[in-house]
Amino acid sequence: MNIDYAARRARLAPQLGLTDEVLLVGAGSPIPRPELSEQHLAFIAHQEYFYLTGHAEAIGGIVVYDAKEKKWTSFVPAVTEEQRVWDGAEQLPGEVLGKFDGWLAARRGRRIAMLGAPLPGVAADAARTAEVREALKHARRPKEPGELAILRRGAQATAEGYAAVQPFLRPGVSERRMQIELEAGFFRGGADETGYHSIVGVGAQSAVFHGSPSTRRVAKEGDFILIDAGGQTDRYVTDVTRTYVAGKPGAFQRDLYAVVQNAFRRACARCRPGAEWKDIHLAAAVDLMAGLVSLGVMKGKAESLVEQDAHTLFFPHGLGHMVGLGVRDAGGVEPGRTKDPRPSLRSLRMDLILRPGYVVTVEPGLYFIPALLNDPKRRAQYRDCVNWDVAGRHLGLGGVRLEDNLVITEGEPENLTAAIPLGL
């Protein structure tokens, strides 16, 4: 299903709260490698520019809207012979970029809102820019059918990667080998990139949220293996986590996994239109704490532990985020809100009311993280909330996280990544 970007721009314009401003949205420029001046990091057009144009490779491109004339214009770089030869580039449709300065000069004195990558030498109104950015973000939260179709393809490609890695979840295999098999599966399944740097962690490394795979090997039967990875298709990202055990899990691992799985299932079921994301997050935290109390790791009432923020010892991140055009899509706060100051919500990437078409990750986890659990300040503060000797016995075990991508609908959520079997 092709996305009609001109139709999208026409639909969006009245939602941006513009009156008489000029809106400029820049694609950005490639970043040179410091040590090799003729080489650049791979160019990625700014998310806001891409959303409005679909041009992934328009280096320096600018799409503009004159709110008085109610007219969009897209300025695109004139492709050079060198780019045709070296990059196989083709001319994009639109006005040539050289005409942009004249277009802007003809509107001298008008208020400017500037989204995307900032344009050098252009003075924008910072307050209006922030307001328009929020309006655009809010408008692009519900995904269109064309976007959902891309995400479904991405989820399928991601499932191929997870299927491909299954024979390698055993002692002696390195994180790197698993990464290779996983990513090869993504590409075979139709992904054109990985959505982000794949995370593969074995043993204690499974509790390192953004750890990079290395030559580290699964040391022994019973070690955790956590994989957080996904494919990217047409710039849309799938973001999945599964936790496995090499061989047979121990009793505590099985119980810990069951606690996370229960919180995960319940959180997914709560993803209904009208639900407050922060309530779903806190309810998941309560479920996780109730589980840790039943396992003898924590002490007290689950609700009270969450009120005291004690869950952040074992569940220090938010329940999830919006995903789509990038691994962090249009998160943030509900229009008219400011960031909720409650410490228990500090790590949340969004404070939104769920609506049909929103695509969110749901990713509860429990981890034994030495940097948190060996911290004397935390040990003192939460002296009576944790059975510290039990927690201490599991330092080095790592952690468990499950993550799926859900589309909010009028009824039950559609789980895009449900075809990837849960680990245990």
Q: CA separation (Å) from 304 to 256, 277, 344, 385?
A: 21, 20, 12, 10
Of 327 and 390, which CB lies nearer to ligand GLY in the complex structure?
327
Binding to ligand GLY, residues 381-410 (CB under 6 A): 403
b/e map of 166-188 (b: 16 or more CB within 10 Å)? eebbeeebbbebbbbbbbebbee
Of 187 and 196, which CB lies nearer to ligand GLY in the complex structure?
196
What is the identity of the amino acid at 331?
A: G
Of 115 and 199, which CB lies nearer to ligand GLY in the complex structure?
199
Q: Are 327 and 299 in contact (CB under 8 A)?
A: no
Cα radius of gyration rounded to whole Å, the chain: 24
Dist. CA 283–CA 180, nearest whole Å = 37
Strands 414-415 and 404-407: antiparallel
Smallest distance, Mn ion to C-beta of residue 135, A? 25
Dist. CA 158–CA 43, nearest whole Å = 24
With CB cut-offs between 5 and 8 Å by kind, which of Mn ion, ligand GLY, none does residue 196 bind? Answer: ligand GLY
What's the full length of the chain, in residues?
Answer: 424
Of 156 and 194, which CB lies nearer to ligand GLY in the complex structure?
194
Q: Are 216 and 202 in contact (CB under 8 A)?
A: yes
Query: Which of 48, 57, 183, 239 is the binder for Mn ion (CB under 5 A)?
Result: 239
Query: Which of 361, 365, 402, 406 is the binder for Mn ion (CB under 5 A)?
Result: 361
Binding to ligand GLY, residues 261-290 (CB under 6 A): none
Of 241 and 261, which CB lies nearer to Mn ion in the complex structure?
241
Of 55 and 321, which CB lies nearer to ligand GLY in the complex structure?
321
Dist. CA 20–CA 146, nearest whole Å = 31
What is the identity of the amino acid at 238?
A: T
Q: How many CA atoms lie within 13 A of 401 on its CB side?
A: 34
DSSP lists the bridge partners of residue 415 as: 406
Total of residues contacting ligand GLY (CB under 6 A): 6
183 binds ligand GLY (CB under 6 A): no
228 binds Mn ion (CB under 5 A): yes
Smallest distance, Mn ion to C-beta of residue 332, A? 16
Query: Which of 134, 223, 239, 351 is the binder for ligand GLY (CB under 6 A)?
Result: 239
- Chain residue at closest Cβ approach to ligand GLY: 228
Of 223 and 239, which CB lies nearer to Mn ion in the complex structure?
239
Dist. CA 406–CA 413, nearest whole Å = 6
Smallest distance, ligand GLY to C-beta of residue 399, A? 13
Closest CA to 249 of 269, 224, 271, 267: 224
* DSSP annotation string for 219-263: -STT-EEEEEE-EEETTEE--EEEEEESSSPPHHHHHHHHHHHHH
Of 53 and 198, which CB lies nearer to Mn ion in the complex structure?
198
Segment near Mn ion (CB under 5 A); pick from 59-67, 99-107, 206-214, 361-369: 361-369
Query: Which of 327, 390, 395, 424 is the binder for ligand GLY (CB under 6 A)?
Result: 327
With CB cut-offs between 5 and 8 Å by kind, which of Mn ion, ligand GLY, none does residue 57 bind? Answer: none
208 binds ligand GLY (CB under 6 A): no
Smallest distance, ligand GLY to C-beta of residue 163, A? 19
The site for ligand GLY (CB under 6 A) is made up of 196, 228, 239, 327, 363, 403
The site for Mn ion (CB under 5 A) is made up of 228, 239, 241, 361, 403
